[in-house]
Amino acid sequence: MRYAFSTLGVPGMPVGEVVRLAAGAGFGGVELRAHPEEQVHPRIGLRERATVREQFAEAGVEILAVSGYARVAAAHDERGEEELAAELTELVVLASDLGAQFVRVFPGGGDRPVGEADADAARHLAAVAPFAAERDVRVLLETHDSHPRGADAARVLGPVGHRNIGALWDVLHPWLAGEEPVDTYAGLAPYLGFVQVKDVASTEDTAPLPLGAGTVPLADCIGALARAQWDGWLCWEYEKRWYPRAADLPGLLSSGREYLERLVASATP
C-alpha cells in the first residue's frame, strides 16, 4: 500500500511547504483540500496549476486527489442543479490539470428520504462520469454524513455503474454508524478508489489523535484490505482545520506513516 496525507491537517500551509513536508516524512502522495482558504482550488489559473504540478513532480510526490465540497445527494432547485454540475466539472478539470487521480465529493443528503437522496446522488454522478472519463479522473463519493456506511454508498454507486465513479472509504464514519470494517470493505470493494485513515478517542470524542492513539479499528480496516490484496493509497486525514487545538500534524507524520507500515506488514498474508 502507499501513503498520503490530506492538507486538511495543515490548514493554510503554502504548497512548497506541503511538498517538502511530504517528501521529508516519507509520504508518496498528498490529498489537496480544494477550498478558497487554501492555495489550490478551482478558481486558480492555468499558470498556478502548472506551477503546483511542477512542484510536486520535482519532489517525486503525487497529487493523489482534489477534495471538494460538492454535495451530490442534497436537494437542489433548478439553479442549484446548474451550480452543482458546474462545481463537479470544475473539480474534474482541476484534478486533471494537476495530474490527480481522484476528486472527492460528499453525499450531503441531510434528512431527505433515502430513496430521493440516493436517486439524486446517482443522477449527478452519472452525469459527470463521461467528462471524468475524458479527463482520466475518478470522482469518489466519500462515506460521510447522510451516507456513512459502505452499504449506503453502494446503493448509489451500483446504479451508476461507471468506472470513473467510485468510493472513498473514510474509516471513521462507517465505524461511527456501527458498520464493521469487513462489511464496509465488502460493500465498497467494486468501487474503491482510496482510503482515508484517522484516529479518535471514542465515538463521542472525535477530535483527531495520532494514529494508533485512539479507538478507531484501523488494524481491522487494513486487515480487510490486505486479505483482499488491495494495494492502493492510505491517506491520513487529520482534521486540524476543524479542531485547531489538536496537536500540529507535521511532527506526527513520520511516526504515523511508520504505524501504518507496521499494520500493513502484520496484516499482509
Out of 3.40.50.1820, 3.20.20.150, 3.40.50.150, 3.60.150.10, the CATH code matching 2-267 is 3.20.20.150
| Dihedral of the alpha carbons of 177, 65, 22, 185, in degrees to the nearest 10 | 40
- Cα–Cα distance, 46 to 43 (Å, whole number): 10
pLDDT of residue 268: 83
33-51 average pLDDT score: 98
Reading the block at residue 192, the C-alpha cell is 474503491
Q: Cell match 455503474: residue?
A: 161
pTM: 0.98
| Dihedral of the alpha carbons of 93, 95, 101, 104, in degrees to the nearest 10 | -100
- Boundaries of every domain in the chain: 2-267
Percent of the chain at pLDDT > 90 equals: 99
The sign of the dihedral angle between the CA atoms of 108, 113, 114, 120 is negative
Residue 269 scores a pLDDT above 80: no
pLDDT of residue 74: 99
Reading the block at residue 53, the C-alpha cell is 504540478
Half-sphere exposure at residue 209, Cβ-oriented, CA atoms within 13 angstroms: 15
Residue 175 scores a pLDDT above 80: yes
The sign of the dihedral angle between the CA atoms of 242, 107, 141, 152 is positive
For residue range 189-222, list pLDDT tens digits in order: 999 999 999 999 999 999 999 999 999 999 999 9
